[in-house]
Amino acid sequence: MSLSDEDRRKLDRLAQVMLPGSVGMSGASELQLAHAPVDRVLRIEPALAPKLAHFLTRAGFVGSLGDVEALAQEDPEEFKALEVVLANAYFMHDTVRGEIGYPGQEARDSSVGLDDRDLALLEPVRARGAIWRE
Amino acid sequence: MSDTSSDVVIVGAGPSGAVAALELARAGMAVTVLEQGGWVAADEFDGARPEWELTQLRKWHPNPNVRGRAEDYPIDAAQSDVNPLMFAGVGGAALIYGAHWVRFMPSDFRVRTLDGVADDWPFTYDDLAPFYEYVEEAMAVSGLSGNPAYPDGAPCPLPPLPMGRVGRKAAKGMNALGWHWWPGSNAIPSRAYRGLQPCVLRGTCGTGCSDGAKATPDRTHWPEALKLGVRLITGARVAEVETDAKGRACGAVWIDRHGARHRARGDVVILCANGIGTPRLLLMSDLANRTGLVGRRLMMHPYAGVMGTFDEELESWVGPAGQILVSMQFYETDTSRGFVRGAKWNCMPAGGPQSFRAGYTGGTLTEGWGAALHDGVARKFGRSFEWGIIGEDLPDPENRIVLSDSLTDGDGLPAPEIRYRMSDNTHRMLAFHTARAVEAMEAAGAISTEVTPLIRDCGWHLMGTAVMGEDPETSVTDQFGRVHDVPNLYVFDGSIFPTSSGMNPTATIMAVAARAVLNLIETRHTLAPSQ
């Protein structure tokens, strides 16, 4: 299911209000979130598209979070689909990940195990002795 | 209808079914296993992909009602405080478990004697200890031996995973209060081990391990079982356990993914379909329920959490997840607290940025958006972790599963309906424990804390619905899972647990299954039809 130009304009406006950008994080408009990033999410999870489309059909011009809230209250399930689409489009974006210092769920070496600092932390636990009940 | 025959038919290829199938095959018995799900390859899991947080909302969600795969059966949980969670596949729910590996405590087996509640188990911690050790070798358990919460220190075959910044932060808080903690033990190898890859701390255990590291029965047990000739049939939903004219189990009728019915005959039938699936099947088959106990005493471990946020970078998306630390400080009964029994704590990483997206205060639907979203992520992401709390859930015959009279699965079989309410004891227990966990966070330096008093999607631990015991008037099976009413029918999963403990149960499910199947092998001569 592809979004119409009108749907995409509405989605773009919703995204700007819901993700305005702040404290070092880009806003939706800078990222053109309503285009390729949203399409990426819908490719991975196409089941979101019908509810998103219904929400956008109902949506008029939104100027504030208060306007979005009113739409959300009309159908919380459809709003949830919008939330999932926008949040994932945003946090899957490489720019945003870089801005918040998130490399994704990256691989690291687990064989380092516990070091001397960790074992030192355990000393008082060992010193208190057994706590199990017969 | 096809018709096959073997010595033993097992229903379910998860942790208990895998233990049973492998041991029976090693003993030279012909085994057929019926599994309603299929195989899931490591590269199907999304942990290493950017969409990890997206696909866990449906595709890898632990609630079958949300996931909605063809092999799942729906569950009516409208009358339950907690949603039961599971996964249908070779390896069972372990495919998406957190691999928290903890033994029950000695007191867990003696709650009637010690605390005057529920029932003692028909065996003790010492009886089960050799079987714990046995399954821990198979499950590549990493941890630090010498935990003073156990009489034998709960030895682990592999060295522990790293604690990381989160673990050190949490440990300092616990030390400041003089409270017990210990590095977490997990069924996740810290070294390459018997075909398992070493853990890479990706922190996505609960949505499946994409690295082939986490110990799950499809990797730890099934390869050898298949080599030994076990016949594993996937996509096989069992509709009924059949009995002969003498009332003995003689096999199972199963339905394939095209709706065709088949018969698998066996001299012995073992149910390993979890604490919901097993009583559902017994009820559908009208078996083993002379006492009316099948489906009753359901225990699901209501789970609470306390999230702490700190003013320093903790890299709190890094695994294991997995448990980084555990605490049994408040595990044992102290009646001055206003409840009996206790809870285990597990220190967990906080995951990716979307963990901090939503508003959880019960306010407006959009409160977590706009500038608040950016502020919340900047303040919390990478700087937060959780103490999770598993409270012991005492058995109550009114907490139960029944067969729905209105909801069916994709094959027209009645779905389970859950009737479950948290007890007053559990409410008081979780209130006490969350208050202590807030103190632990504050002692560690948290600048803010958030308490989740009950997480509805928490019913991972399904126990008690075909209770074992020595008295056929008050139990469904004997201490080896042998059904009192049907002597060649067994239950090996968590359904037979008399009590739940406050621990993650997979270690005990597998140890109890190992103990039971070895008894079955030793006593198989008594199972001949003439006996």
Interface touch B182/A124, C-beta < 8 Å: no
- Quick one: pLDDT at residue A1? 65
Domain of B287: which CATH number?
A: 3.50.50.60
Nearest to B191 among A17, A87, A111 (CB): A111
Region label for B203, one of left (φ > 0), alpha (ψ between -120 and 50) or beta (otherwise): left
Q: B65 lies in a domain?
A: yes
Lookup: tokens for A27: 């806003």
8 A C-beta contact, residue B170 and residue A122:
no
Of A24, A79, A111, the CB nearest to B190: A111
- Among B148, B162, B182, the residue with its CB nearest the CB of A112 is B162
Asked if A20 lies within 8 A of B320 by C-beta distance, the reply is: no
- Determine the pLDDT at residue B355: 86
Q: Which domain holds residue B271?
A: 2-42+57-527
The residue extents of the domains of chain A are 5-103
Which tens digit of pLDDT belongs to each residue from B345-404? 999 999 999 987 654 445 788 999 999 999 999 999 999 999 999 999 999 999 999 999
- Which pLDDT band holds residue B530 (cuts at 50, 70, 90)? low
Residue B308 within any structural domain of the chain: yes
The pLDDT confidence band at residue A69, using thresholds 50, 70 and 90, is very high
| pLDDT at residue number B364 | 83
What number of residues does chain A have? 134
**Structure confidence at residue B310 (pLDDT):** 98
CA dist B46 to A100, B3, B41, B209, B351, Å? Answer: 21, 39, 11, 8, 14
- The per-residue pLDDT for range B167-182, each reduced to its tens digit, is 999 999 999 999 999 9
The stretches of B243-370 forming alpha helices (DSSP H) are: 274-285
> What contacts B332, CB < 8 A, 6 or more positions away?
A131, A132, A133, B105, B107, B341, B342
Span B272-282, mean pLDDT?
98
d(CA B439, CA B504): 24
> Which pLDDT score, from 0 to 100, does residue B529 have?
66
Provide the edge-to-edge strand list for the sheet that holds B400-408.
B76-80, B414-420, B400-408
Q: Is A106 touching B (CB cutoff 8 A)?
A: yes
Cβ distance B156 to B142 under 8 Å?
A: yes
The Cβ of residue B368 has, within 10 Å, a number of other Cβ atoms equal to: 19
Strands B261-271, B2-11: pairing is parallel
- Number of domains forming the structure of chain B: 1
pLDDT tens per residue across span B429-453: 999 999 999 999 999 999 999 999 9
Q: Residue B16 in contact with residue B168, Cβ under 8 Å?
A: no
State pLDDT tens for residues A8-66. 999 999 999 999 999 999 999 999 999 999 999 999 999 999 999 999 999 998 999 99
CB-based contact B366 A68, cutoff 8 Å: yes
- Is the CB of A100 less than 8 angstroms away from the CB of B365? no
Q: Find, in chain B, the residue whose alpha carbon is nearest to that of A88.
A: B54
Q: Return the residue of A nearest to B172 by Cα.
A: A121
| Binding-face residues of A in 11-50 toward B, CB within 8 A | 17-25, 41, 44-45, 47
Mean per-residue pLDDT of chain A: 96
CB contact under 8 Å between A65 and B369, yes or no, is yes
**Mean pLDDT calculated for residue range B39-66:** 97
How close does chain B come to A91, measured CA to CA in Å?
7
**Beta carbons within 8 Å of B325's beta carbon, 6+ residues apart:** B163, B167, B170, B171, B174, B181, B182, B183, B184, B346, B347
B320 min Cα distance to partner chain A (Å): 9
Interface test with chain A among B44, B49, B53, B54, by most A beta carbons within 10 Å:
B54
Q: How far apart are alpha carbons B118 and B111 in whole angstroms?
A: 7
Residue B422 has pLDDT above 80, yes or no: yes
- Nearest chain A residue to B174 by CA distance is A125
Task: Answer whether residue B51 is part of any domain.
Answer: no
Distance of alpha carbon B501 from alpha carbon B273, whole angstroms: 20
B489 to chain A, closest Cα gap in Å:
34
Q: Across chain B, what does the average pLDDT equal?
A: 96
In a domain, B47, yes or no: no
Is the Cβ pair B370, A131 closer than 8 Å? no
Instruction: Give contacts of A83 with chain B, Cβ < 8 Å.
Output: 358, 369
Residues 6+ apart with CB under 8 A from B172: A121, B443, B444, B445
What number of other Cβ atoms are within 10 A of residue A105's Cβ? 25
Query: Which one of B328, B369, B501 would you mutate to disrupt binding with A, by most A Cβ within 10 Å of its Cβ?
Result: B369
Cβ atoms B259, B411 nearer than 8 A: yes
Q: Per the structure block, which two tokens stand in for B431?
A: 């209130």
Q: Which residues of B499-521 are buried (b: 16+ CB within 10 A; e: fewer)?
A: bbbbbbbbbbbbbbbbbbbbbbe
Contact B433, B245 (CB under 8 A): no
In chain A, the residue whose alpha carbon lies closest to the alpha carbon of B175 is A124
